[in-house]
Structure 1
Amino acid sequence: MKTLNYQTLKESNYDGFILEDAPVRVLQFGEGNFLRGFVDYFIDVMNEKANFNSKVTLVQPISQGAFRLKDIINEQQGLYTLYLQGFQDGKEVREKRVISTVKNCLNAYEDWDTVLELAKNKDLRFITCNTTEAGIVYDPSCQLNDTPAHSYPAKLTQFLYARWKQNLPGFIILACELIDNNGKELEKFVLQHAKDWNLEEEFIKWIQNENIFCSTLVDRIVTGYPRQEADHLNAENGYIDQTLDTGEIFGVWVIEGPQSIAKEFPFKEAGLPIILTDNHKPYKERKVRILNGAHTSMVLGAFLAGQTIVRDCMYDPTISAYLNKAIYEEIIPTLSLSKEDCEEFAHAVSERFKNPFIDHELLSISLNSTAKWKARVMPSLLGYVEKFGKLPKALSTSLASYIAFYRGKELTEDGLKAINPVTKKEYTIKDDAAVLEFYANNANRSNEELVSLVLSNEEFWGQDLSQIPDLEEEVLADLNLIDEKGAMEAMKACVE
């Protein structure tokens, strides 16, 4: 078979939307699966449905390894096949789309002069990025004359300086890294580099006045290259695509910025699930507390009850009822967005958990559950107590399940070893060393002693949870029930 390109696509009789020629209006730092399955998908749909008429140039922000993705992307003329799949409106859905929004791919370390030349492009208006959580950092060793600078904020400062010297307008910058206030953090570090490099005051004012640094919230699981299915899909398509991408059908992009962005970024006309707001934090709260909080509340107890993947939990009547109680009765009432908005999101979350194309293992979600419980579940528990003056039953039980899951006996280099009470199989608890050492050192404590030590551990929670009225007694009772009758019975007790 031939490699995917525009000619091959024509020969394969593909009848979907394709945009072969358009000006490059988007520069994207990051060429990985996520951006191609999320941002570039949205741009492709805007090209089709709202005449956005924009191509994207990708920039690999790090040196290439043995697998030269840049070369493969360019050989395929930027084309790749995206499959979005999941459970939607009660049905199994799988959509195929050839994405034609990417023009080419450059590598910052091989093509830096070419990257800087793009600063002269008058059509260029948007910069998107996802350089991982570690990408937006301040590195004082970076210098203006580096080719390129090591960190992404320093590279962006170099690019913006080249743009300013052309006396051209600035950019709408859409940061997609998974850190708090990603856009504002990026702007802060760019300004710091400009000052440290003693660049002109006029340039610094241009950064602040002519560029919009948008903090954004991205929400879609992108599962990437379907290694096990690739040969079958290529045969079905009639071409070889080495950059196949897959993701869930659900997707939401929340962009914090002025409403004027909508005039240039036509997501409304394209019917896309993009929300433009002056404050993205309530939406982040909704995602963290409902989606991530539901995961963390459910997975440890479900694992101790013998389950292994998220999807199967959704078809267990006890676990699903427990999860629904946690979400609809205990988490949603504590959130700032409207009840209707939160319940609509929660319904989508339930369908995402049922995704037949993703085997999301409970044990993989359990990684670092101490920090996850603090960030994702504890705020809902505290908010519920403050609002209603009583404990939320399901969330309290999730804390008991967390303690039961973490009771291991043998600390090894891999983690803390424990035995599943239902399957009788060994599993490995993975968390920060201090957390694992705490549980290993207290493995022989009584339930009463252990619950007291865990709840009062301010290093875990940032406060003494044992001071919350009745919480210690409730968690102890739940932990005893887990030991006596099992985690399933503890969840059942929440919904009876």
Structure 2
Amino acid sequence: MNVDASFTPPKTVQNVSYERNAHGVGIVHFGVGAFHRAHQAVYTDGVLAKHGGDWRILGVSLQSTKGADALNAQDGIYTLAVREGKEQHLSLRLIGSITEVEAATRGTDKIFQTLAAPQTRIVTMTVTEKAYGVDRSSGSVDLSNASIAHDLKDPANPIGIIGMIVKGLSLRKDAGLKPYTVLCCDNLPKNGKIVRSGVLDFARRIDPELATWIEAHGAFPSSMVDRITPSATPELLAEVEEILGAKDAAAIETEPFSQWVVEDNFCNGRPLWEDVGVLFVDDVAPYERMKLRMLNGAHSLIAYAGFLAGHKYVRDAMADQHIHNLVEQHILAASKTLTPLSGIVFEDYGKQLIERFENPNIAHETYQIAMDGSQKMPQRIFEPAIESLEHGLDIQPFALATAVWIRYCAGITSTGKTYDLRDPREDELRSIFKSGNGNASDICTAFLELANLFPAQLQQSDIWAEQLKDQLSSILKSHPLG
């Protein structure tokens, strides 16, 4: 037996408490992966249970079909698993906010019909930083990005997130409808502004009148999301099946902690997410910086240092006292680059992060976190490094994190095992090691000279360059190229 709309779970499992078919689709979400199923879909499920409304979600998978097949076979229903309390009891809850998932590679008619529907009011996305194809410094679309290039040439048949958003908005404009709010949920600084600038630039290139309409009537709130969510393991799926008495191929496990901070800027209505724990604010940026620098920055350090040390999971890396100490130092250094934030004690937040990273029940792979480093390092590591330089603070933790990432970019362990970086600049990054012949100074110089990676303040800083070279030299001694 499989989990689906006809399935009745045991009394120990929290079931969907509302009549799903009584509520229409009001949200389209791009990127229905583990994080969305543990975060935005859960908050929306809570609103539906508390208030009802037409806020169910049509999911869109831009590349994979696996997730779509798993969820669609279960009528969009899946299990959220959370381990709670000292006994680490596995608490299960069925989530019903997703109606179905459309795989874009199989066709986009249903996707655009829904984007153009009057009842669709919000488009959300968790598609990773690299998927947008927007230059963060200029705000314009990256013409070298494959999806952007394709969609500008054939805007009627887009394959990328920016092109799809623009086509959906174009359909609404032509139909005389209000635009939908575009709510980015990826770990990008000022994510709403970045997506807005990319959408407007793309629209101007194909239809200036459409761009003017979007600029006048659209909304692109920024948001900060936080919940550590690893990919589901076979062991989790087996444990969930044993408790449910049914198979759930889309089950997901996450930590008890969850946070969503959203700029209250919507153009066409929204769910009452604040009634289920979402914090609406005028300015997300301070919360965003705190999370990117303290949590995400430390996460990247753990990923690269942990992977190179042979630790598969974050929890294993945190059990390594050397890495544990480095993480504590990094979190403290990152906190010193932040301005005071009402209701937040950075020291307490840092301790909470350590506890979350140490959680023995979350199997978050270092290799999973390590992907797309060239897209993540600027906001997680380079920005606080710049502020530390400007204010005379310690830059060593940020130089160390950068050096560990650079060593990871070699694509080979100390034992000679090779691995893919899973980075859009992979070939470029790996080639530096081939030409650097293991010389830390030459490698660092070549990395600093790469276009569109390090900010000018770091490229021009002798202090930063010396710290970086010293750190990489040390790392290459402990983790030589295999």
Indicate which of 60, 73, 76 corresponds to 2:74. Answer: 76
- Contact 1:5 1:79 (8 Å CA) reproduced: yes
* CA deviation after TM superposition for structure 1 residue 334, in Å: 1.2
Letter in 1 for 2:462: Q
Match of 1:347 among 340, 348, 351: 351
Which residue is equivalent to 1:167?
Answer: 176
Q: In structure 2, what residue type is equivalent to 1:141?
A: K
Picking from 449, 458, 461, the partner of 1:459 is 449
The corresponding residue for 2:15 is 16
CA distance in 2, matches of 1:236, 1:396: 47
Aligned to 1:151: 160
Task: State the SS of the aligned residue for 1:127.
Answer: strand
After TM superposition, the score normalised by the length of structure 2 is 0.75
Aligned 1:289-438 pairs, distance under 5 A = 289-297=293-301, 309-317=313-321, 319-328=323-332, 330-338=333-341, 340-362=344-366, 376-387=380-391, 389=392, 391-392=394-395, 394-395=397-398, 415=410, 417=412, 419=414, 425-428=415-418, 432-433=426-427, 435-438=429-432
The answer to whether the 8 Å contact 1:57/1:106 transfers is no
* SS in structure 1 of the partner of residue 166 of structure 2: helix
Deviation at 1:210, TM superposition (A): 3.2
The answer (yes or no) to whether the contact 2:399–2:471 under 8 Å persists in 1 is no
The alpha-carbon deviation at position 254 of structure 1 amounts to 3.1
Equivalent residue runs for 1:254-293 within 5 Å: 254-258=261-265, 264-270=270-276, 272=277, 274-293=278-297
1:126 aligns with 2:130: no
Task: Determine the structure 1 residue equivalent to 2:56.
Answer: 56
Other structure's SS at 1:253 match? strand
Q: CA deviation at 1:40?
A: 0.8
Query: Following the alignment from structure 1 to structure 2, what is the Cα–Cα distance between the partners of residues 314 and 18?
Result: 39
Q: 5+ unaligned residues in a row in structure 2: which ranges?
A: 134-147
**What is the rounded CA distance, in whole Å, between the counterparts of 2:290 and 2:444 in structure 1?**
27
Write the letter of the residue equivalent to 2:56: V
1:99 and 1:353 mapped to 2: Cα distance? 26
In the TM superposition, residue 438 of structure 1 has moved relative to its aligned partner by: 4.2
Amino acid at match of 1:268: E
* Offset, 1:248: 3.1
* AA at the equivalent of 2:35: F
Whether the 8 Å CA contact 2:45–2:95 is kept in 1: the answer is yes
Judge conservation of contact 1:30–1:58 (CA < 8 Å) in 2: no
Give, in angstroms, the shift of residue 378 of structure 1. Answer: 4.2
CA separation of 1:133 and 1:318: change in aligned 2, threshold 3 A: closer
1:243 matched residue in structure 2: 250
How far did 1:45 drift? 1.6
Amino acid at match of 1:167: G
Q: 1:478 to 1:390 in 2, by over 3 A?
A: farther
Q: Distance in 1 between matches of 2:47 and 2:236?
A: 29
For 2:93 and 2:401, locate their aligned partners in 1 and report how far apart those are by CA, in whole Å.
40
Could you give the per-residue CA deviations for residues 311-365 of structure 1, whole angstroms, max 9, x where no partner exists?
A: 234345554344323322x221111343944334323321221122334455665
- Cα RMSD after superposing both structures: 4.3
Change (3 A) 1:257 1:247: same
Superimposed CA distance per residue, residues 276-329 of structure 1 (whole angstroms, 9 cap, x where no aligned partner): 33433333322222123224445666677776643234345554344323322x
Q: Which residue of 2 aligns with 1:411?
A: none
Query: Under a length normalisation based on structure 1, what TM-score does the superposition of the two structures give?
Result: 0.73
Q: Which runs of 5+ in 1 are unaligned?
A: 407-413, 420-424, 488-496
Task: Give the fraction of aligned pairs with identical amino acids, expressed as a percent.
Answer: 22
Give the Cα separation in 1 of the matches to 2:339 and 2:56. 36
How much does 1:103 deviate? 2.5
User: In structure 1, what is the Cα distance between the partners aligned to 2:282 and 2:253?
Assistant: 31
Query: Is the CA contact (8 Å cut-off) linking 2:433 and 2:443 kept in structure 1?
Result: no
SS for the counterpart of 1:213 is coil
Which secondary structure state, in structure 2, belongs to the residue aligned with residue 128 of structure 1? strand
Are the equivalent residues in 2 in contact too, given 1:212–1:257 (CA < 8 A)?
no
Distance in 1 of aligned mates of 2:206 and 2:374: 41
| Residue 142 (structure 1) aligned with residue 154 (structure 2) | yes
Give a deviation string over 1:458-493, Cα, whole Å, max 9, x none.
316454576229x8489749966996xx79xxxxxx
Offset of 1:142 from its aligned partner? 2.2
Q: Tell me how far apart the structure 2 counterparts of residues 239 and 481 of structure 1 sit (CA, whole Å).
A: 48
Distance of 2:160 and 2:400 partners within structure 1: 43
Amino acid at match of 2:5: Y
Q: 1:165 to 1:11 in 2, by over 3 A?
A: farther
**Aligned residue identity for 1:207:** I
In 2, Cα distance between the equivalents of 1:442 and 1:468?
21
CA 60–230 in structure 1, closer or farther in 2 if over 3 Å, else same:
same
SS at match of 1:7: coil
